[in-house]
């Protein structure tokens, strides 16, 4: 049976509540699921710590560079990632 892909999309300024939840899920989820983190990365690099922590626990990280709140090219990129990885659950 193929694994069900769960994707988390997050822009982060550090490791706080939501980030801890994502990391806990990624570390402890049933092995029938594959977890990926789509990390929205702005030029300030604040999401780098979340990406590093996720990679350390074995979560696949995909970085999407964003240049503002309504960056339509980033939205298209995220859509393409969701299709490519056949994401069934989006959080």
Helix (H/G/I), strand (E/B), else coil: 60: strand
For residue 6, give every residue at least 6 positions away whose Cβ sits within 8 Å of its Cβ, in sequence order, or none.
Answer: 25, 29, 33, 34, 35, 36, 87, 88, 89, 90, 91
Stated as kind and residue range, the H or E segment containing 20 is helix 17-28
User: What pLDDT shows up at residue 6?
Assistant: 97
pLDDT digits (tens, 9 = 90+) for 60-72: 999 999 987 778 9
Query: For the chain, what is the radius of gyration of the CA atoms?
Result: 13
Determine the Cα–Cα distance for residues 85 and 70; give it in Å rounded to an integer.
23
Predicted TM-score of the model (pTM): 0.91
Q: pLDDT: is 37 or 12 the higher one?
A: 37
pLDDT digits (tens, 9 = 90+) for 17-60: 999 999 999 999 999 999 999 999 988 888 999 999 999 999 99
């Amino acid at each position: 049976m193929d694994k069900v892909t769960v994707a988390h999309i997050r822009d982060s300024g550090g490791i706080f509540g939501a980030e801890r939840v994502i990391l806990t899920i990624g570390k402890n989820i049933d092995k029938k699921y594959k977890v990926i983190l789509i990390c929205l990365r702005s030029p300030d690099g604040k999401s780098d710590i979340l990406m590093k922590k996720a990679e350390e626990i074995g979560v696949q990280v995909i970085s999407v560079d964003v240049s503002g709140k309504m960056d339509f090219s980033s939205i298209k990129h995220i859509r393409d990632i969701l299709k490519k990885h056949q994401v069934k659950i989006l959080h």
